[in-house]
């Protein structure tokens, strides 16, 4: 039989979209403002301007002729680099790379001498770093910004009495990065709450699907008991009376009485067969419950690969596998920072194997909490086992094995 396979993609914009759009939009406005100035009126007293002048002097080119064009080109290059770094910071699963991208963005913001760019970086610090680490980075960003402002003001041709008031104003203005950091933390909290709610809703729908199958099985069992306790008993009593009537009539018994006796026996046998069949545990479609759960997972690209032979199981096996897979998915959403999840359900040498793999952070040493410990205990009670390994090429893989051939 061919395996069941499905790919489910998140139906929303990826989180990096706004992080990339911000530098591009505000950078374009900054460049447009520069283009409205004439070369004679434009001040190159910024880090980007110093770079343009220094590069022209190094190349031996006339500053007055080429400074304006190189300054605009440098700003465009910094804007594009900042957008690329924002994309890298939002998509990389490695913490050290994320810090590297954020540090490079901070350098770009200082080079642009732009408060808006600094606010965009501060918002990313809140959303991409742990709270304490983000606050430390925010303090370093503020101090570096004040140092950059001090350098620019001291090198400018300003009256001595204006340097201190200007520096105080710019330092107070830079406090807005704290507001950007606060807004970023609120956005992160709201997003996490929304994702958690959507994931819980998807799991509830999947549990309802599994519960519906179980309820139908329980209803069939109730009907079987009612048939056995009422119709079965009455048919047994009827057959006893018909048998007694045939014996009492002896050779003078009419043919219709014998026919009724034979039909009563056949009907009782059929009722017993129906009751026996209804009492048997019907296999539950685990594939449908997993499909419903994965269809509602937010911000996570999900793939299902389910062998048709492993799709249906007795109720207790299906419940155990579903709970273990559900716990693995919950751990991925909470801790892995993954973008893709793969669920495989297969049979191997009479053993049902469920494998959940993500492309998240992973970890070389896992400290089992209540979730993993509960999964291991549940599988062990049924003669199975839980295996934990690294994902491919990164992330984490949980493999659940249960003995016995699926129903």
If you average pLDDT over each of 138-147, 268-277, 390-399, which comes out highest?
Answer: 138-147
Q: Residue 197 pLDDT > 70, yes or no?
A: yes
Whether residue 124 lies inside any domain: the answer is yes
Residues 22 and 41 reside in one and the same domain: yes
Kindly report, residue by residue over 180-191, the tens digit of the pLDDT.
Answer: 999 999 988 888
User: What was the pLDDT predicted at 18?
Assistant: 83
Residues 352, 365: one domain? yes
Which of 247, 279, 311 is a domain's end point? Answer: 279
Yes or no: say if 300 and 359 are a contact pair by the CB < 8 Å rule: no
Same domain, 248 and 310: no
Average pLDDT of the chain to the nearest whole number: 80
Of 24, 72, 80, 28, nearest to 51 (Cα)?
Answer: 72
pLDDT at 11: 47
**Res 278 pLDDT > 70:** no
Identify the helix (H) or strand (E) that includes residue 292.
helix 286-295
Strand partners, 396: 358, 390
Pairing relationship of beta strands 301-306 and 340-348 according to DSSP bridges: parallel
User: Is the residue at 2 inside a domain?
Assistant: no
pLDDT of residue 41: 67
pLDDT of 344 strictly over 80:
yes
Predicted confidence (pLDDT) per residue in 52-74, tens digit? 788 878 888 877 777 888 888 88
Residue 365 within a domain: yes
Reading across the β-sheet that carries 4-8, which strands appear in turn?
4-8, 301-306, 340-348, 351-358, 396-403, 385-390
Q: What average pLDDT does this structure show over 207-216?
A: 73
**Which pLDDT belongs to residue 138?**
94
Q: What percent of the chain has pLDDT over 90?
A: 15
Contact indicator for 357, 340 with CB cutoff of 8 Å: no
DSSP readout, 73-141? HHHHHHHHHHHHHHHHHHH---HHHHHHHHHHHHHHHHHHT-HHHHHHHHHHHHHHS-HHHHHHHHHHH
- 25-39, 167-181, 224-238, 280-294, range with the lowest pLDDT: 224-238
Are 378 and 391 within one domain? yes
* 341 vs 39, residue with greater confidence: 341
Same domain, yes or no, for 257 and 356?
no
Residue 112 near residue 146 (C-beta atoms within 8 A): no
| Pair 333, 31: CB distance under 8 Å | no
- pLDDT tier, 137 (very low <50, low <70, confident <90, very high otherwise): very high
Interval 384-405: pLDDT, tens: 888 887 655 567 888 898 886 4
- 3-state DSSP assignment of residue 306: strand
What is the predicted pLDDT for the residue at 87?
92
254 phi, psi to nearest 5 deg? -65, 155
Helix, strand, or coil here: 185? helix
CB 301 within 8 A of CB 343: no
pLDDT recorded at residue 1: 46
Q: Would you state the pLDDT for residue 362? A: 67
Q: Residue 256: in which H helix or E strand, if any? A: helix 255-279
CA distance 366 to 389: 10
CA distances from 313 to 216, 321, 323, 352 (A): 15, 9, 14, 10
Residue 307 maps to which CATH number?
3.30.565.10
pLDDT of residue 65: 75
Range of the structural domain that residue 41 is part of: 14-174
* Residues 123, 168 share a domain: yes
88 within some domain: yes
Please say which residue of 174, 192, 226 terminates a domain.
174
The DSSP code for 405 is -
Closest listed residue to residue 339, CA positions, set 60, 15, 110, 3: 15
Closest of 310, 302, 389, 312 to residue 345, by C-alpha: 310
Reply yes or no on whether the pLDDT at 8 is more than 70: no
Query: 162 and 41: one domain?
Result: yes
Q: Are residues 271 and 321 in the same domain?
A: no
Residues 126 and 87 in one domain: yes
Across 304-327, average pLDDT = 83
What pLDDT, on a 0 to 100 scale, did the predictor assign at position 285?
79
276, exposed or middle or buried, with CB in 10 Å at 0-12, 13-18, 19+?
exposed
Task: Report the number of distinct structural domains present in the chain.
Answer: 3
Same domain, 115 and 75: yes
Are 272 and 302 found together in one domain? Answer: no
Of residues 122 and 112, more confidence is placed in: 122
- For residue 404, whether the previous peptide bond is cis, meaning omega lies within 30 degrees of 0, is no
Contacts of 343 (CB under 8 A, 6+ apart): 290, 294, 302, 303, 304, 305, 306, 325, 329, 354, 355, 356
pLDDT (0 to 100) of residue 10:
43
Give the SS3 label for residue 383. Answer: coil
Its pTM stands at 0.68
Mean pLDDT for the stretch of residues 15-33: 86
- Answer yes or no: do 328 and 399 share one domain: yes
pLDDT at site 228: 65
Lowest mean pLDDT among 22-26, 29-33, 223-227, 298-302: 223-227
């Amino acid at each position: 039989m061919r395996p069941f396979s499905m790919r489910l993609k998140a139906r929303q914009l990826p989180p990096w979209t706004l992080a990339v759009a911000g530098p591009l939009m505000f950078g374009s406005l900054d460049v447009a403002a520069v283009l409205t100035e004439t070369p004679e009126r434009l001040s190159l007293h910024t880090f980007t301007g110093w770079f343009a002048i220094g590069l022209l002097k190094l190349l031996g080119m006339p500053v007055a002729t080429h400074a304006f064009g190189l300054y605009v080109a440098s700003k465009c290059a910094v804007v594009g680099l900042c957008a690329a770094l924002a994309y890298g910071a939002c998509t990389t699963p490695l913490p050290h790379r994320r810090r590297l991208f954020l540090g490079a963005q901070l350098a770009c913001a200082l080079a642009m001498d732009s408060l808006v760019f600094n606010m965009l970086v501060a918002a990313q610090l809140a959303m991409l770093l742990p709270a304490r680490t983000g606050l430390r980075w925010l303090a370093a960003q503020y101090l570096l910004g004040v140092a950059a402002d001090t350098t620019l003001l001291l090198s400018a041709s300003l009256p001595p009495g204006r340097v201190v008031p200007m520096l105080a104003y710019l330092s107070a203005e830079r406090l807005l990065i704290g507001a950007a950091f606060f807004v970023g933390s609120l956005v992160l909290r709201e997003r996490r709450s929304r994702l958690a709610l959507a994931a819980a809703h998807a799991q509830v729908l999947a549990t309802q699907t599994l519960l519906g199958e179980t309820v139908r099985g329980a209803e069939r069992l109730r009907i079987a008991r009612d048939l056995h306790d009422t119709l079965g008993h009455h048919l047994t009593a009827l057959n006893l009376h018909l048998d007694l009537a045939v014996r009492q009539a002896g050779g003078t018994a009419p043919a219709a009485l014998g026919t009724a006796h034979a039909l009563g026996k056949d009907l009782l046998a059929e009722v017993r067969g129906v009751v026996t069949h209804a009492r048997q545990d019907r296999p539950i479609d685990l594939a449908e419950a997993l499909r419903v759960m994965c269809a509602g997972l937010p911000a996570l690209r999900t793939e299902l690969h389910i062998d048709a032979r492993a799709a249906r199981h007795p109720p207790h096996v299906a419940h155990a596998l579903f709970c273990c897979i559900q716990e693995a998915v919950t751990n991925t959403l909470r801790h892995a920072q993954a973008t893709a999840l793969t669920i495989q359900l297969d049979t191997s040498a009479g053993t049902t194997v469920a494998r959940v793999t993500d492309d998240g952070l992973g970890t070389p040493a896992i400290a089992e909490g209540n979730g993993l410990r509960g999964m291991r205990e549940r599988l062990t009670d049924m003669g199975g086992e839980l295996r934990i390994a690294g994902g491919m090429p990164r992330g984490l893989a949980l493999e659940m094995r249960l003995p016995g051939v699926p129903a």
